[in-house]
């Protein structure tokens, strides 16, 4: 009997070693889930993304619960829930929010997944707190069916410095959205001044005041492109993220044109990270390895017209996304932005929004 048990134990150990070896050898999309439930927070679950991801992940053994809200709402939820958060993994967001979550010790740094080296240089967090999955170019877009390229703005300051554009661009009434905050970061950091109010010079605050003074406030619940095609609206231009441009072009019959500023444009770097308090760390790491792989990000790009940060998946992206995301990135001090964006938005709402 003892010999029999010893043989059984030995066989079990061999089997366990075999499973372990397979797990260590597997990479990217070959890393399957074990069925351990994961709760995921994201601002990138709309337009069918959350449903697609749940179904696709389930095919490879992952059991996901996805909570989808706006970028700022996801950020605030993680802050408010603190150590009691049920969240294991968060994806989407942008550099402003990633830096804030890192500063609050909400994320855990992990070793680079196998695909980290396939990501465009400079997009991953160097300390390993998040890894990039999607690049969103933040554009000053216009309807090229109604505005010729030679007559279009070349950069954001044109909107308030050139009277020809007054009232023709949309200005925001809420400052919580990730795209809006990236636009404000791209403008205000041009006027960075350590001695200025909230790190911005007087010239910068005057510029942002003019920006809001001469725009047409967004109609709540009506998107930019609906305004563009509305003959009763003066709006022909405004902020847009790159994957949204293709989506709205198809929906409204608009032809998106966009400015290519000499200083470059802000990018919303959507990433994936693990929450420090997760009780499912190993499964979370497996999911990160799987989700950011060239295979899965290529499928995501084909489905939702995004521009993968993973360069091996980039061939799956539409030509329009490749063009938009080839615009040079603006040199932005994201740490400065993360430290001040809430105060900037509060000042703008109180002093400059009409």
- Which architecture characterizes domain 137-266+330-351 according to CATH? 3-Layer(aba) Sandwich (3.40)
**Angstrom distance (rounded) from CA 28 to CA 114:** 7
- 108 forms bridges with which residues in the sheet? 274
- Which architecture characterizes domain 26-135+268-324 according to CATH? 3-Layer(aba) Sandwich (3.40)
H helix or E strand, kind and range, residue 133: strand 131-143
**Angstrom distance (rounded) from CA 172 to CA 8:** 68
Rg (Cα) of the chain, in Å, rounded? 23
Q: Which of 13, 63, 55 is nearest to 38 (CA)?
A: 63
Q: One fold for both 26-135+268-324 and 137-266+330-351?
A: yes
**Residue 351 · residue 286 · CB < 8 Å:** no
**Angstrom distance (rounded) from CA 30 to CA 218:** 45
Question: Can you give the pLDDT at residue 15?
Answer: 43
**Residue 125 · residue 235 · CB < 8 Å:** no
Question: Can you give the pLDDT at residue 10?
Answer: 47
What ranges do the domains of the chain cover? 1-25, 26-135+268-324, 137-266+330-351
Q: Which of 95, 125, 143, 113 is nearest to 332 (CA)?
A: 95
Give the Å distances, CA to CA, from 37 to 74, 82, 184.
20, 20, 38
Local confidence pLDDT in tens for the 354 residues of the chain: 545 444 444 444 444 443 333 345 789 999 999 999 999 999 999 889 999 999 999 999 999 999 999 888 899 999 999 999 999 999 999 888 998 999 999 999 999 999 999 998 888 999 999 999 999 999 999 999 999 999 999 999 999 999 999 999 999 998 988 889 999 999 999 999 999 999 999 999 999 999 999 999 998 888 999 999 999 999 999 999 998 898 899 999 999 999 999 999 999 889 999 999 999 999 999 999 999 999 999 999 998 888 999 999 988 898 999 999 999 989 999 889 989 999 999 999 999 986
Give me the phi and psi of 128, to 5 degrees please: 90, 15
Question: Can you give the pLDDT at residue 1?
Answer: 52
């Amino acid at each position: 009997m003892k010999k029999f048990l010893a043989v059984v134990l030995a066989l079990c150990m061999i089997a366990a070693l075999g499973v372990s070896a397979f797990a260590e050898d597997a990479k990217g999309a070959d890393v399957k889930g074990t069925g351990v439930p994961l709760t995921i927070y994201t601002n990138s679950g709309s337009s069918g993304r959350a449903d697609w991801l749940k179904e696709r992940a389930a095919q490879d053994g992952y059991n996901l619960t996805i909570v989808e809200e706006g970028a700022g709402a996801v950020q605030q939820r993680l802050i408010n829930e603190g150590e009691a958060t049920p969240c294991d993994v968060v994806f989407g967001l942008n550099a402003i929010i990633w830096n804030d979550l890192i500063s609050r010790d909400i994320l855990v740094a992990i070793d680079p997944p196998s695909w980290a080296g396939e990501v465009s240089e400079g997009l991953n967090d160097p300390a390993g707190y998040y890894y990039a999955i999607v690049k969103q170019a933040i554009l000053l877009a216009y309807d090229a069916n109604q505005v010729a390229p030679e007559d279009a703005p070349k950069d954001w300051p044109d909107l308030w410095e050139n009277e020809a554009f007054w009232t023709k661009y949309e200005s925001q009434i809420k400052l919580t959205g990730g795209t809006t905050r990236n636009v404000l970061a791209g403008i205000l950091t041009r006027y960075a001044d350590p001695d200025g109010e909230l790190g911005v010079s007087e010239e910068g605050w005057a510029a942002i005041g003019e920006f809001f003074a001469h725009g047409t406030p967004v109609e709540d619940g009506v998107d930019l492109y609906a305004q563009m095609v509305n003959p009763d609206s003066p709006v022909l231009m405004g902020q847009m993220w790159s994957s949204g441009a293709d989506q709205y072009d198809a929906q409204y019959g608009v032809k998106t044109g966009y400015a290519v500023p000499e200083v470059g444009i802000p990018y919303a770097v959507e990433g994936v990270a693990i929450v420090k308090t997760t009780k499912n760390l190993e499964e979370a790491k497996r999911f990160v390895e799987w989700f950011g792989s060239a295979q899965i990000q290529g499928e995501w790009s084909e489905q939702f017209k995004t521009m993968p940060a993973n360069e091996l998946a980039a061939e799956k992206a539409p030509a329009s996304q490749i063009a938009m995301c080839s615009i040079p990135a603006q040199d932005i001090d994201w740490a400065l932005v993360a430290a001040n964006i809430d105060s900037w938005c509060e000042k703008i709402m109180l002093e400059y929004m009409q």
